[in-house]
Chain A
């Protein structure tokens, strides 16, 4: 197996008493899009920020192309940052209003002293073209652009230094559906053209289904299931994954109204004091006594090597079907 671009091992991140990420291991292969799905409070955004070391890591390892960046200082990290970058959710706050688009996109190049003034300019024009913006946009300021255009500028900036890993944190959630479609198409196209690995963090199952090759499902700071996209959407094994898939309405009235839905009771428990045993047991319709006591390990099940953290799923991948 080739060396993963991003390898997270036993990652823990606590904010004071809040156990935002509590022991997560995952890897993203070169050229792969891994969808990281979860609801608010699941820790998915924190995991993305740990992977790019925008926050300090409490314990565990974060390896980018084999280099462990988990414990590096800000100064040590700085030269390595050209290898990984990030796109944010809110296009209205992710671009400096006082800088022109060209300055924004070329900033990583200047910071890493890549190229000369002239080569940076042509690189910026090339990048703007790649993300589908006309060259004249370079002279404009962010407030002159629409939300979708700003998100394209964000992408151009993140990719300007040619990173091996892109972490995209809900890049389409603040956009209108028709704009979402174009940004999702763009990420897909850029990813297959440039071949970077991508950790795609989102709550939107439909966009993961569209973009990701593998999907990791997070709940309350831990992973509950990791599987290839087709397998996960066809045969979700963890009860939470099943509930999540069934709760997302599909835009097709007859299908939506006849499908059986699993309605979960209660809210996500507080990450300050997560439930003992399986963290999902308080909302799980099929939980047994063991679930309340023993933490289920994330282990391979079934023929295709999906990973599931549930006591009730057998080694051959069979388990409870809800709904």
Chain B
């Protein structure tokens, strides 16, 4: 069942240096209880896409396209109705847990705030629920922790508190924007486990925004790759890693040092850099950096259509499916 459908989402910013097209007709959907990873490098539009779902963008942004959540067209809702949706149905977790928590309120108060606003829970009931939530995200001694202030917690604990606040109202969709990027790997592993557990325990879907292919490999069911504002490839996680069709996806995979591969002779580089576009060109935006590009790529916009590996790819000359390795 499709929980979230994003159709032709386009976001433009007015900036001092003229208009910037941040998201260029992005389309994808998230099924219920699915972990969908939105992957790309900085400037590809993945975070802007996440914020645009519930119109959390700054005023210099204009948004077009439709976002449908569980049958409701979010993009048509007035701000007051959208505020109800945020937090209750769609919750967010951001990269930097320190700046997202209020430093002068205890953890318990901040969770209580959320419970009061959306679930009308007060006093002892709210406190009990707050303790439950901290326990749910794996914080030891939750009854003691709710009396503490954010600065008394470590980075990993703060991120767990943020997740606890986000899931306080049992949202159907959790949007997690680089939730582990600021954390150490041993802490990251724990946070990913929490997300995995929450998904089954409260039955929510996760839209995970990340640049880290290791995290994707660890937790994602499906992957959407973004480049220069466009969604360029969509596939199940194992298929994407084993049979990438877009040359950019391939390049991204080859750029990561992978202890399992022991590639000699250096890492593959992707020449050039991500373009910043004022408008959507009638071309493949990756053409300037692509070894396979020809005149077609420079003259015509590719569509997201089923590629040789069976999953959708936005490329005129997708990579062939590699020969399956013959087991020895």
* Contact surface of A with B, Cβ cutoff 8 Å: 39-40, 146, 148, 176-182, 184-185, 188-189, 203, 205-207, 209-210, 233, 243-244, 247-257, 261, 263-268
Q: Is B216 an interface residue (CB 8 A)?
A: yes
* Contact surface of B with A, Cβ cutoff 8 Å: 41-42, 140, 154-157, 184-190, 192-193, 211-218, 220, 237-238, 241, 251-260, 266-270, 273
Across-interface contacts of B187 in A (CB, < 8 A): 39, 267
Asked if B256 and A177 sit within 8 Å, CB to CB, the answer is: yes
Across-interface contacts of A248 in B (CB, < 8 A): 185, 214
Asked if B41 and A243 sit within 8 Å, CB to CB, the answer is: no
Determine which residue in B155, B212, B257 has the highest number of CB atoms from chain A within 10 A of its CB, and name it. B257
Asked if A247 and B188 sit within 8 Å, CB to CB, the answer is: yes
Asked if B156 and A177 sit within 8 Å, CB to CB, the answer is: no
**Residue ID in chain A nearest B39 by CB atoms:** A177
Across-interface contacts of B214 in A (CB, < 8 A): 248-251, 256
Asked if A251 and B258 sit within 8 Å, CB to CB, the answer is: yes
Asked if A185 and B184 sit within 8 Å, CB to CB, the answer is: no
A selection of 26 A-B contacts at a CB cut-off of 8 Å is A39-B184, A40-B155, A146-B273, A177-B211, A178-B41, A178-B251, A178-B269, A185-B267, A206-B257, A206-B259, A233-B259, A243-B186, A249-B185, A249-B192, A249-B212, A249-B217, A250-B214, A251-B214, A251-B216, A252-B260, A256-B214, A263-B186, A263-B190, A263-B193, A267-B156, A268-B154
**Residue ID in chain A nearest B216 by CB atoms:** A251
Determine which residue in A146, A177, A256, A257 has the highest number of CB atoms from chain B within 10 A of its CB, and name it. A177
Q: How far is the CA of A265 from the CA of B157 in the complex (A)?
A: 12
Q: How far is the CA of A268 from the CA of B214 in the complex (A)?
A: 23
Asked if B238 and A253 sit within 8 Å, CB to CB, the answer is: yes
Asked if A250 and B259 sit within 8 Å, CB to CB, the answer is: yes
- Secondary structure of the B contact surface, majority rule: helix
Q: Which of A148, A209, A253 is within 8 Å of B241, CB to CB?
A: A253
Q: Which of B41, B185, B255 is within 8 Å of A247, CB to CB?
A: B185
**A247 to nearest B CB, angstroms?**
4
User: In the complex where A178-B252, A256-B214 touch, is A264 in contact with B259 (Cβ < 8 A)?
Assistant: no
Q: How far is the CA of A296 from the CA of B157 in the complex (A)?
A: 29
Asked if B185 and A210 sit within 8 Å, CB to CB, the answer is: no
Asked if B241 and A267 sit within 8 Å, CB to CB, the answer is: no
**B239 to nearest A CB, angstroms?**
9
Q: How far is the CA of A268 from the CA of B134 in the complex (A)?
A: 20
**A133 to nearest B CB, angstroms?**
13
Asked if B266 and A188 sit within 8 Å, CB to CB, the answer is: yes
Across-interface contacts of B156 in A (CB, < 8 A): 267
**Residue ID in chain B nearest A245 by CB atoms:** B259
Across-interface contacts of A253 in B (CB, < 8 A): 216-218, 220, 237-238, 241
**B148 to nearest A CB, angstroms?**
14
Asked if B259 and A177 sit within 8 Å, CB to CB, the answer is: no
Q: How far is the CA of A210 from the CA of B186 in the complex (A)?
A: 20
Of all A-B residue pairs in the complex, the 8 with the closest CB atoms, nearest first, are A249-B214, A181-B255, A251-B213, A39-B184, A181-B267, A210-B257, A206-B257, A176-B41
**A176 to nearest B CB, angstroms?**
4
Asked if B253 and A251 sit within 8 Å, CB to CB, the answer is: yes
**Residue ID in chain A nearest B268 by CB atoms:** A181
Q: Which of A206, A250, A263 is within 8 Å of B217, CB to CB?
A: A250
Asked if B185 and A244 sit within 8 Å, CB to CB, the answer is: yes
Across-interface contacts of A255 in B (CB, < 8 A): 217, 260
Q: How far is the CA of A119 from the CA of B216 in the complex (A)?
A: 50
Q: How far is the CA of A189 from the CA of B269 in the complex (A)?
A: 14
Across-interface contacts of A209 in B (CB, < 8 A): 257, 259
**A178 to nearest B CB, angstroms?**
4
User: In the complex where A206-B259, A244-B185, A267-B154 touch, is A181 in contact with B269 (Cβ < 8 A)?
Assistant: yes
**Residue ID in chain A nearest B214 by CB atoms:** A249
Across-interface contacts of A148 in B (CB, < 8 A): 273
Across-interface contacts of B42 in A (CB, < 8 A): 176
**B182 to nearest A CB, angstroms?**
9
Asked if A261 and B241 sit within 8 Å, CB to CB, the answer is: no
Q: How far is the CA of A93 from the CA of B193 in the complex (A)?
A: 35
Across-interface contacts of B212 in A (CB, < 8 A): 249
**Residue ID in chain B nearest A174 by CB atoms:** B42
Q: Which of A40, A176, A256 is within 8 Å of B184, CB to CB?
A: A40
Across-interface contacts of A263 in B (CB, < 8 A): 186, 189-190, 193
**B224 to nearest A CB, angstroms?**
15
**A147 to nearest B CB, angstroms?**
9
**Residue ID in chain B nearest A264 by CB atoms:** B186
Asked if B186 and A184 sit within 8 Å, CB to CB, the answer is: no
**A228 to nearest B CB, angstroms?**
15
**B97 to nearest A CB, angstroms?**
13
Asked if B259 and A205 sit within 8 Å, CB to CB, the answer is: yes
Determine which residue in A179, A244, A251, A266 has the highest number of CB atoms from chain B within 10 A of its CB, and name it. A251
